[in-house]
Amino acid sequence: MGNEAAVIGAAFSKDETSVLTWANDNTVKLWDAVTGKLIRTFDHGIVQPTGAALNHAGDRLITWSDDGTLRLWDIGNGALLFTFDPATQQGGALGAIWSANDQEILAWSQDSTARIWDAKAAPSF
């Protein structure tokens, strides 16, 4: 799988037919696990994704960044659905996990907090 930058992390999709990678060229990419072909690129703009987590259903992706934001993506079409942006940003987002029903996101940060986010707040969630 040909990224043009260092790959920071990677994860299998639930059914292991695809693989997600995030790299220091500010992209998250979805690959076919069998052929190795690039299926989709999620363009992170100017912010480097430092980590990512697929939801349990395997149709939504959350990525986090040093600017303190979390981004919610639609795996099916690559659309950015929502940006969870703490009102007071004093540090990078360090990690996040999905609730069992995929309705909430528990995220922790350098800003000395952990927050529970309502994933349903995203339009077209």
Please identify, using beta-carbon distances, which residue of 8 and 39 lies nearer to other proteins: 8
Burial annotation 52-90 (CB, 10 A radius, 16+ → b, else e): bbbbeeeebbbbbbeebbbbbbbbeeeeebbebebeeee
- Which DSSP helix (H) or strand (E) runs through 106? strand 104-109
Name the segment binding other proteins (CB under 8 A); options: 41-49, 51-59, 73-81, 113-121.
Answer: 113-121
106 binds other proteins (CB under 8 A): yes
Q: Which of 4, 37, 76, 124 binds other proteins (CB under 8 A)?
A: 4
Binding stretches for other proteins (CB under 8 A)? 2-12, 16, 19, 21, 23, 33, 82-87, 91, 94-95, 97, 99-100, 104, 106-118, 121-122
